[in-house]
């Protein structure tokens, strides 16, 4: 059986821009772009998970806004349920703890990135909102 993960990610707005982060070479899905987030731990709510992961990975504070539709995706060696939330940047200086780089993008630039496959439908749905 391949592992299945429940992963929460945040589409974070900072003024008119949206934050995207690039996975580093030594992570799974190397150099793919994603929304920051991570696996839900036991006894943790989705909202607690996203707050914790954003603090750990980026050291910024966010306000969680709206849950969007989850995506089920099968990668060759694991499967995920990826649950996106929109969120607003509230404060703190962004420090990348795990990722290779970050970009703040206009909405129309999002589709230019090489997204992790599970994120593609999320970007598409977000652009329709
Ligand atoms: N955080 C996040 N993970 C995503 C996204 N899209 C996507 O396929 N994933 C996958 O979901 C998995 C879980 O995320 P994670 O951020 O906790 O993974 P991790 O650092 O523990 O990876 P690792 O197992 O290599 O240490 C990762 O393998 C990642 O590739 C996304 O938009 N955000």
Helices within the chain (DSSP H only): 46-58, 120-128
Give the pLDDT score at 128. Answer: 87
Two structure tokens written together for 81: 């349920």
pLDDT in tens, 68-77: 999 999 999 9
Q: Is 4 in the pocket of ligand 1 (CB under 6 A)?
A: no
Q: Is 35 in the pocket of ligand 1 (CB under 6 A)?
A: yes
The answer as to whether 129 is a domain residue is no
Residue-range definition of the domain harbouring residue 12: 4-119
Question: Rounded to the nearest 5 degrees, what angle is found at the Cα of 108, between the Cα atoms of 115 and 34?
Answer: 20
Q: What is the pTM of this model?
A: 0.95
The answer as to whether 8 is a domain residue is yes
Helices within 1-84 (DSSP H only): 46-58
The answer as to whether 128 is a domain residue is no
Report the complex ipTM: 0.91
31 touches 22 (CB < 8 A):
yes
The answer as to whether 109 is a domain residue is yes
Test site for ligand 1: of 2, 22, 37, most ligand atoms within 8 A of the Cβ = 37
CATH number (domain holding residue 105): 3.90.79.10
The answer as to whether 57 is a domain residue is yes
User: Ligand 1 centroid to 17 CA: how many Å?
Assistant: 22
> What residue has token string 């793919």?
32
């Amino acid at each position: 059986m391949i592992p299945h993960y429940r992963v929460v990610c945040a589409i974070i707005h900072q003024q008119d821009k949206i934050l995207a982060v690039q996975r580093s070479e030594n992570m799974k899905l190397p150099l793919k772009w994603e929304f920051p987030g991570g696996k839900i731990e036991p006894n943790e709510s989705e909202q607690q998970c996203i707050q914790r992961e954003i603090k750990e990975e980026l050291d910024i504070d966010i306000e969680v806004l709206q849950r969007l539709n989850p995506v089920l995706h099968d990668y060759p060696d694991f499967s995920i349920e990826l649950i996106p939330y929109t969120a607003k940047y509230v404060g703190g200086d962004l420090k990348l703890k795990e990722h290779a780089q970050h970009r703040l993008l206009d909405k129309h630039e999002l589709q230019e990135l090489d997204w992790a496959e599970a994120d593609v439908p999320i970007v598409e749905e977000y652009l329709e909102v």
